[in-house]
Amino acid sequence: MEKGYETFVTELRKLLLAAMDLEEDEIYFAKKGEKYGCTGDRLFVECRHIEKAKKICGLHTEELYERYCQEHNLNNIVHDCVCEIKKADETSVVCDINDLEDYEKIKGKLFIRLLSAERNGEVLKDTIYHQVGDIALVLYYLAGEKDGYILSMKIKKHFPEQWGKDPDAVFEAALVNTYFISPPRIYHWEKMLFDKTYTGDNFMDLLETYQPNKGIAGNCLSTEKRTNGAAAIFLPGVARRLAELMEADLYLVFTSVHEVMVHSADMVYPEDLKDVLMDTIKKATPPEDYLTSSIYRYSRRTGEFSVELE
């Protein structure tokens, strides 16, 4: 089987070279664990050179080989790969990879995203992250934004040492960046349905009064961009502010990576929230947006997050 896989990769590379009219050194292979193959075997295709930058598309060869074993049609796979590479080339944003070597150049573009620690164990091994329960707060670099999509990459563990910076200090600075890149907001469903200009409520303005929902319905917390918005609860001062407004500890229900429902711990039972969460995950949360099945608690007294109910 290993022999067949190696032959497949060789043939795939040869056909892509011909189909895209590329030079020999513009398609190269990296095995899992190597510098560029950290998440699995990949065939990298340099689809365009722009000044000092390169546009590179990585193909997951193990997945493609599984497909080949089922279909036995390499031409169809090559066709689909070429289409995906061209699509990625058109929608991608170019950034100078050399900037990553200089902390001062990129520090304002570091931010935090949440991932399921349980489902991303391999991905997290060489990545800078903090873990709360089964949620990983992961350090990312914001490469750019295009057509409403955020293009980013995880920061590997060797970068802070290369920068001469403490990893924890870099992480804390990224939390602050995240706050300003996409500020936290509370959303009301009825306003979202009937007001197209609605961008959420700014409950963090200390000069203004704000009345959150202290009842069983809770509050939908996300960010101004409403993408990867569940991270908002971990941003500086956010959980503390909500606990003060609600005059109680908080129960946190992460319905996806994009939002978290915030409830007063005095008004609801975690068992009921768990039932709602599991039903939501089953019916409305895409697998790629899943974060956790646990109910979390924020202590107003200690300022700490913990798993209330797994």
Same domain for 188 and 163, yes or no, is no
Residue 33 in tokens: 């664990």
Same domain for 190 and 287, yes or no, is yes
- For the cut 50, the answer to whether the pLDDT of residue 204 exceeds it is yes
pLDDT digits (tens, 9 = 90+) for 214-253: 999 999 999 998 889 999 999 999 999 999 999 999 999 9
pLDDT of residue 147: 57
Same domain for 288 and 224, yes or no, is yes
Same domain for 202 and 243, yes or no, is yes
Mean pLDDT across 32-39: 57
pLDDT of residue 149: 56
pLDDT of residue 14: 94
End residue of a domain, out of 92, 112, 132 = 92
Strand order of the β-sheet with 42-50 is 27-30, 42-50, 53-60
End residue of a domain, out of 68, 92, 116 = 92
pLDDT of residue 34: 64
End residue of a domain, out of 181, 198, 214 = 181
pLDDT of residue 148: 55
Same domain for 60 and 87, yes or no, is yes
pLDDT of residue 96: 57
* Total structural domains within the chain: 3
Is residue 95 exposed (0-12), middle (13-18) or buried (19+ Cβ within 10 Å)?
middle
- Dihedral of alpha carbons 5, 153, 81, 43, sign: negative
- For the cut 50, the answer to whether the pLDDT of residue 37 exceeds it is no
- For the cut 90, the answer to whether the pLDDT of residue 134 exceeds it is yes
pLDDT digits (tens, 9 = 90+) for 252-283: 999 999 999 999 999 999 999 999 999 999 99
The separation between the first and the last C-alpha atoms of the chain, rounded to the nearest angstrom, is 41
Q: What is the dihedral of CA 298, 304, 308, 310, to 10 degrees?
A: 120
Same domain for 292 and 239, yes or no, is yes
- Highest mean predicted confidence (pLDDT) among 28-32, 192-196, 271-275: 271-275
Same domain for 166 and 236, yes or no, is no
Same domain for 205 and 163, yes or no, is no
- For the cut 80, the answer to whether the pLDDT of residue 38 exceeds it is no
Q: Which of 37-51, 111-125, 157-171, 229-243 has the weakest average pLDDT?
A: 37-51
pLDDT of residue 45: 86
Mean pLDDT across 60-76: 90
3-state secondary structure labels for all residues of the chain: CHHHHHHHHHHHHHHHHHHHCCCHHHEEEECCCCCCCCCCCEEEEEEEEECCEEEEEEEEHHHHHHHHHHHCCHHHHHHHHHHHHHHHHHHCCCCCHHHHHCHHHHHHHEEEEEEECCCCHHHHCCECEEEECCEEEEEEEEEEEECCEEEEEECECHHHHHHCCCHHHHHHHHHHHHHHHCCEEEECHHHHHHCCCCCCECCCCCCCCCCCCCCCCCEEEEECCCCCHHHHHHCCCHHHHHHHHHCCCEEEEEEECCEEEEEECCCCCHHHHHHHHHHHHHHHCCHHHCCCCCEEEECCCCCCEEEEEC
pLDDT of residue 191: 87
Same domain for 177 and 189, yes or no, is no
Same domain for 192 and 275, yes or no, is yes
Residue whose entry in the numeric block shows the structure tokens 């670099």: 141
The residue that leads in pLDDT, 18 or 58, is: 18
Q: Which domain holds residue 44?
A: 2-92
Under 8 Å between Cβ of 94 and 53: yes
Same domain for 226 and 287, yes or no, is yes
Mean pLDDT across 20-26: 88
Same domain for 216 and 298, yes or no, is yes
pLDDT of residue 91: 59
